[in-house]
Amino acid sequence: MTEHEVSGSRAAVRRLVEHPVFQWTIIGVILLNAVVIGLETSSGSMDRYGDLISTVSWVTIAIFVVEIALRLYAFGWRFFRDGWNVFDFLVVLIALVPSAGSYSVLRVLRVLRVLRLLSTVRSMRLVVGALVATVPGMASIAALLGMLLYIFSVMATQLYGNIDPEHFGDLGKATLSMFQITTGDDWAAVVRPATDAEPSAWGFFILYIVLATYIVLNLFIAVAVEALDRETEESNEQLASEMEEAMDDSTAEVLAAIADLKAQVASLETRLGD
């Protein structure tokens, strides 16, 4: 097979794996595999339909292997430049590890095949990418929240430790109580003994709720939204670049076909001239 033929076959396979019908088929197989994994945890289902469930499981794994092989052939070593492709490759590789003997612990990792939805569905990839991009900003906000939690826990211990030792008797109890207030989980019951004994305590706890919940926690949302917007823009740019590259490949194929046709015409003219 010539280099031109190899390039043409790779382009054809690339169009296949990028076709919406192919991608939706893989999504359906992933969902089917997720159902099978859930059924394998049911002893009743395995007793009744164990052979069928095992067969469907191996068929879905075979489809995943074929899909990865097609994508490897279509993109070559460029396949490993995308982190999501590497993730898919490792998940399928884990699925092929024997589930007996010393490798039996890896059976638990089979559920990771469900996470292939993250790499297959573009909107999910955007959300995960945005979450990863927010890590630096989230770390700073988490540090700020930790400082507020520590400061107000120390103050609550000193102010209300004697009034309500159950919730604020020491720093550990106070930290746990203040964290519960931050989450809003039945916070009124936590502060009620202190506020009943000292009504001015309402000002202390309301100030903490405003700072920790309504300001700091909303910063998490702001950072996440900003990261999602940025990730969407980058994804759109990458998609446009891939479309441009695909158009360039198609143009190169057309030019190669024209050159081949010209060569055949020239050969035919030479024969007619003779």
State residue 267's pLDDT score. 67
State residue 104's pLDDT score. 53
Report if residue 260 sits inside a domain: no
Residue 26 has pLDDT above 90, yes or no: no
Mean pLDDT, the chain, integer: 79
Residue 216 has pLDDT above 60, yes or no: yes
Same structural domain for residues 77 and 112?
A: yes
200 is written with which tokens? 């001015």
Residue appearing with tokens 């099978």: 36
Q: What is the largest CA-CA distance in the chain?
A: 115
Choose the final residue of a domain: 89, 120, 151.
Answer: 120
pTM over 0.75: no
User: How sure is the predictor about 6, in pLDDT bands with cuts at 50, 70 and 90?
Assistant: low
Same structural domain for residues 94 and 147?
A: no
Q: Residue 146: enclosing H or E segment and its boundaries?
A: helix 135-160
- Span 67-84, mean pLDDT? 85
Same structural domain for residues 89 and 110?
A: yes
CA dist 149 and 158 (Å) reads 14
Same structural domain for residues 106 and 153?
A: no
Report if residue 273 sits inside a domain: no
Domain extent at residue 209: 133-234
Report if residue 55 sits inside a domain: yes
- Span 32-50, mean pLDDT? 84
**CATH code of residue 74:** 1.20.120.350
**CATH code of residue 218:** 1.10.287.70
State residue 204's pLDDT score. 93
Q: What is the pLDDT of residues 120-157, one digit of tens each?
A: 777 777 777 777 777 777 788 888 888 999 999 999 99
CA dist 260 and 274 (Å) reads 21
What's the number of domains the chain is made of? 2
Provide Rg for the chain, Cα atoms. 30
Report if residue 148 sits inside a domain: yes
Angle among Cα 31, 36, 37 to the nearest 5 degrees reads 95
State residue 179's pLDDT score. 92
State residue 176's pLDDT score. 93
Q: Which range, 13-27, 218-232, 237-251, is most confident? A: 13-27
